[in-house]
């Protein structure tokens, strides 16, 4: 049997145990840019851009008749909100865009549903998409003005044509890539026609539908601003494009920049809205990975 250690040996080993170094605490990783919240990162970037813009205008020898600084633009926005001109122009543009987007959604839904039901509908959708999707929407505005007059109707027709095809392409792609097993189950329980589209294909195509609406909004937004800038047909009093063009005519550069900043802010707001919709639907339901 092994002999037990003597008290002297234990006394000699005790200091060795006591002198053993304590385990090193894990070092915290240095915070990097990507560790900051998204809102903080983008707010900081925006602040840097605004500061660079103001410095360039104040100390860069820029002609104030050509470029206005952020401070002057902020004053112009406040003035436009106070007297109502900027608010009215923004509401006119958004109203026309909403009407055209609604028409485009309905037309795209009819085309994609018809394409899902029959081969004739599929061929028609492919043909129309190939012809009309690459066509710049503003290019048909002169014809629309001849047909409907210089009014809001002409602009709605042009915007609707711009938004139909991104929605139709994305939704059709979503229908074609639907899980075959889910589609087979739907058929086995007797789903046919519009019920198959509504209960099976539309939920399966939801990520593509949201992407299509996002693209359609961007197409429509660019088209309506361009049309208002060139033709000024957004209705009584004009929209944002007319507001910018009118400010240019009278050399109100700060007002022109105020209109441009309003367009940019609305774009950011809608991007956040679509991101929120994706988070609450396709991401929350496991159909897409959150960013």
Sign of the dihedral defined by the CA atoms of residues 233, 228, 102, 144, in that order = positive
Under 8 Å between Cβ of 188 and 180: no
258-267 in b/e form (b: 16+ CB < 10 A) is bbebbbeebe
C-alpha span between 102 and 98 (Å, rounded): 6
| pTM more than 0.85 | no
C-alpha span between 288 and 291 (Å, rounded): 9
Give the SS3 label for residue 222: helix
Contacts 24+ apart (CB under 8 A), 78-81: 80/255, 80/258
* pLDDT tens track for 184-237: 888 888 777 778 888 788 888 888 888 889 999 999 999 998 888 877 654 455
Q: What is the CATH number of domain 68-283?
A: 1.10.3720.10
**∠ CA 205-128-96 to the nearest 5 degrees?**
75
C-alpha distances (whole Å) from 120 to each of 58, 113, 125, 196 are 63, 12, 9, 19
Q: Give the model's pLDDT for residue 24.
A: 57
**∠ CA 170-171-176 to the nearest 5 degrees?**
100
C-alpha span between 101 and 156 (Å, rounded): 9
Q: Give the model's pLDDT for residue 101.
A: 93
Tell me which residues of the chain have a pLDDT lower than 70.
1-31, 232-237, 285-291
Q: Give the model's pLDDT for residue 2.
A: 44
Give the SS3 label for residue 64: coil
Q: Give the model's pLDDT for residue 104.
A: 92
Would you kindly state where each structural domain of the chain is located, as residue ranges? 68-283
């Amino acid at each position: 049997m092994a002999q037990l250690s003597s008290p002297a040996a234990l006394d000699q080993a005790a200091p060795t145990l006591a002198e053993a170094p304590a385990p090193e605490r894990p070092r915290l990783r240095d915070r990097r840019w990507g560790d900051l919240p998204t809102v903080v990162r983008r707010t900081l970037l925006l602040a840097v851009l605004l500061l660079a813009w103001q410095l360039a205008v104040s100390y860069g020898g820029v002609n104030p008749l050509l470029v206005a600084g952020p401070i002057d633009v902020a004053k112009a926005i406040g003035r436009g909100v106070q007297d109502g001109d900027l608010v009215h122009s923004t509401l006119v543009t958004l109203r026309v865009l909403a009407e055209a987007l609604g028409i485009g959604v309905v037309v795209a839904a009819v085309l994609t549903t018809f394409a899902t039901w029959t081969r004739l509908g599929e061929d028609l959708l492919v043909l129309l998409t190939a012809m009309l999707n690459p066509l710049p929407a503003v290019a048909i505005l002169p014809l629309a003005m001849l047909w409907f007059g210089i009014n809001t109707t002409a602009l709605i027709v042009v915007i609707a044509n711009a938004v139909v095809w991104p929605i139709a392409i994305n939704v059709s792609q979503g229908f074609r890539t639907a899980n075959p097993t889910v589609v087979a189950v739907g058929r086995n329980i007797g789903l046919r026609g519009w019920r198959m589209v509504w209960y099976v294909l539309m939920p399966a195509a939801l990520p593509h539908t949201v992407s299509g609406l996002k693209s359609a909004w961007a197409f429509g937004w660019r088209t309506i601003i361009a049309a208002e800038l060139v033709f000024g047909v957004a209705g009584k009093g004009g929209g944002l494009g007319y507001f910018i063009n009118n400010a240019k005519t009278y050399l109100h550069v700060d007002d022109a920049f105020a209109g441009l900043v309003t367009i940019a802010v609305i774009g950011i707001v809608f991007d956040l809205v679509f991101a929120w919709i994706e988070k609450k639907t396709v991401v929350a339901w496991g159909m897409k990975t959150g960013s």
